[in-house]
Structure 1
Amino acid sequence: MIVLDKLAEYASDFGYRAGWAAVRWAPESVARSVFDAVGTVAGRRGGGPEQLRKNLARVVGTTPEQVPDALVEQAMRSYARYWREAFRLPTTDPADIVASVRMSDHDRRVVDEVCTSGKGVVMALPHSGNWDICGVWLVAHYGQFATVAERLKPESLFDQFVAYRESLGFEVFPLTGGEQPPFRLLADRLRAGGIVCLMSDRDLSHSGVPVELFGERTRMPAGPAKLAIETGATLLAVHHSYPDADTSLIRCGTVIDTSGGVAAATQALADAFAEGIASAPADWHMLQPLWESDWSQARRDRLGVDGE
């Protein structure tokens, strides 16, 4: 079994390396057509990924069976677009990426105010659109920011993802296994007036904050709110989506109030995420069980969650 797991890890590593090598040099029109086709097939086969359909049902307020097939297909094409862009970003002119990003005048003023205030800024994002494009845009306008990366297996695959994001101008700390805990390093950056960006809609720890998202209970990481509170940094929810085939949209709301503590601030983040996700449900790349009612019994037991 261990041998099979290792083989699977190295197959994943090889697959990503091959994808990066092939897609980044393919003509844009060819890459776009191939990934659109792959996304369409994945969205149609067997009704699309079952968990994606369950997650979308919460967003659009219906049962999984009533989620439109067209929405599932669109969601898988959006997910395929994310990977196409990820493979091509290291060889794409950052100026072209920045030029393709849209933002309302209000949101642009909010981002500019918080990023030039001299205080640290925590930007929390859901897995929507392409967060790396948000990062490239941010680096172009405000310089390097810090983030964390989940440690993948094998180590060579993790190293490849870190190198990829560092090539885009990000400072990347491992979520686990680093020389220092990432919280301490991120807090140092914030106290120095820096920017930290964190994916925040899925808890990877055993200590997430219970929140209501689309009317159901789940957990989100405490890190963004805790970092903001302990360092005095500004906390801002950011959302990315694809309004059309050639551009993308960055949205942000008002600054999150952290005066009520970690739990209240995290719930405010969840509410902000829900608003952004509902505006572009097909661009939310959440294919894993997110809500407590979808968790496996083993996970529920581990976290002390009562059964239904």
Structure 2
Amino acid sequence: MRRPDAGALFQLAWDVGGVVPPALVRGALVLGADVAWARRGGGVRQLERNLDRVAPGQSPRELRRVSHRAMRSYMRYYAEAFTLRRASREQLVARVRFVDDGGLIGVRDAGGSAVAALSHMGNWDLAGAWAGVALMPVLSVAERLKPDRLFREFLEFRESVGMRILALGDDGVFPELIRTAERGGTLVCLLADRDLTARGIEVELAGRTARVAAGPAALAVASGAPLFPVSIRYERLRGARRRVARTPWGIVVTIHEEVEIDRSLPRKQQVAVATQGWVTTLGRAIAAHPWDWHMLQKVFVEDLDADRYAQTRQEAGE
């Protein structure tokens, strides 16, 4: 039997999400999360390995409970994505609680740009849509998914909610990021807790060696823009805020303290040290709310194929 086209399935989901009640979409995705969790496919098993490392000391029963909650959180992201285009400005604002512990508002008010290092926590697309209407313009980079139709659907979706998106791997992406950061007035958001290239950096995450993307730190070093770790987690909505948001769930977007960059170090070392800085901060945020970390892929070096990883390091000149 021919496998269904992923792009077509996502297009159908967005079409359906645009007309059926959001509660029905949420219910269907909760059921999908429960089924996927119960089947214990490779993604769920990898999720549990990751969760066991970032929040150690759990019993097998506790780990299963957290992974179940994490799968529901992950599917909640998709339920919101499929209905996000319908959200009004007032609904977006009500769905997000903003905590600026790092001083991003001051950077914005001074006309500057900032680099945000994000992990796959909560709903980064909702955060980006909210930022575009309530904070400052957003520029991000998206993985070029396969098939291409799937990538185009996600690209159209993200641009439809106000984000400007560049495709990872296209020519001139990093120079354009530098130009944008240097011009000021933009929040450059980069999901970086999983390395998608051969240029990643080894860091310590929860006491284990992981490989993450160099992009946020490299951009901050090259452009001079401040680098902020940003965590996103879900919270239950109640009362007036829930009535305005028209959903039982909102997110908390926290701008953590700026990562200091030691300009006296060689540039490569600046990037490595700054990368460890944002990873350490987000590692603590993930450990506090592990069920909102949607990481079903391999990020810890011990999970990677040893031969392929050695080749990757060789190609990167490490």
| Of 150-159 and 191-200, the range deviating more from structure 2 | 150-159
1:120 CA drift (Å)? 2.1
Residue 267 (structure 1) aligns with: 276
Residue 160 (structure 2) aligns with: 167
2 CA distance for matches of 1:247 and 1:151?
28
Which structure has more relative contact order (CA 8 Å, sep 6+)? It is: 2
1 CA distance for matches of 2:147 and 2:54?
34
**Cα deviation 1:162-207 (Å, max 9, x = unaligned):** 111111111111112x3x3210001000110132110011111111
TM-score by length of 1: 0.89
Asked if the contact 2:51/2:63 (under 8 Å) is kept, the reply is no
1:303 CA drift (Å)? 2.1
Residue 71 (structure 2) aligns with: 76
Matching residue within 189, 194, 202 for 1:202 = 194
AA partner of residue 278 (structure 2): L
Asked if the contact 1:54/1:64 (under 8 Å) is kept, the reply is no
1:28 CA drift (Å)? 1.9
AA partner of residue 234 (structure 1): P
SS in structure 2 at match of 1:102: strand
For the aligned residue pairs, the C-alpha RMSD in angstroms reads: 2.1
1 CA distance for matches of 2:67 and 2:147?
31
Matching residue within 223, 229, 235 for 2:227 = 235
SS in structure 2 at match of 1:146: strand
**What pairs up with 1:11-50 in 2 under 5 angstroms?**
11-46=5-40, 49-50=44-45
SS in structure 1 at match of 2:5: helix
AA partner of residue 199 (structure 2): S
Asked if the contact 1:145/1:196 (under 8 Å) is kept, the reply is yes
| Of 242-251 and 285-294, the range deviating more from structure 2 | 242-251
**Cα deviation 1:44-80 (Å, max 9, x = unaligned):** 3349811011000001114784653211110000011
SS in structure 2 at match of 1:300: helix
TM-score by length of 2: 0.87
Asked if the contact 1:120/1:192 (under 8 Å) is kept, the reply is yes
1:86 CA drift (Å)? 0.8
Matching residue within 180, 196, 207 for 1:215 = 207
After TM superposition, the runs of 4+ consecutive aligned structure 1 residues lying more than 6 A away are: none
Residue 257 (structure 2) aligns with: 254
Asked if the contact 2:54/2:205 (under 8 Å) is kept, the reply is no
Matching residue within 68, 71, 90 for 2:85 = 90
1 CA distance for matches of 2:59 and 2:120?
20
Residue 98 (structure 2) aligns with: 103
AA partner of residue 175 (structure 1): L
The 1:46–1:120 alpha-carbon spacing in structure 2 relative to 1, beyond 3 Å, is closer
Residue 225 (structure 1) aligns with: 217
Matching residue within 171, 176, 197 for 1:185 = 176
Residue 288 (structure 2) aligns with: 279
Asked if the contact 1:42/1:73 (under 8 Å) is kept, the reply is no
The 1:222–1:68 alpha-carbon spacing in structure 2 relative to 1, beyond 3 Å, is closer
Asked if the contact 2:198/2:313 (under 8 Å) is kept, the reply is no
The 1:46–1:225 alpha-carbon spacing in structure 2 relative to 1, beyond 3 Å, is closer
**What pairs up with 1:109-120 in 2 under 5 angstroms?**
110-120=103-113
Asked if the contact 2:201/2:213 (under 8 Å) is kept, the reply is yes
AA partner of residue 148 (structure 1): V
2 CA distance for matches of 1:288 and 1:46?
14
Residue 60 (structure 1) aligns with: 55
Task: Return 5+ residue gaps in structure 2 as ranges.
Answer: 237-247
| Of 264-273 and 85-94, the range deviating more from structure 2 | 85-94
Asked if the contact 1:52/1:286 (under 8 Å) is kept, the reply is yes
| Of 64-73 and 111-120, the range deviating more from structure 2 | 64-73
AA partner of residue 95 (structure 1): E
2 CA distance for matches of 1:145 and 1:246?
23
SS in structure 2 at match of 1:103: strand
2 CA distance for matches of 1:252 and 1:153?
32
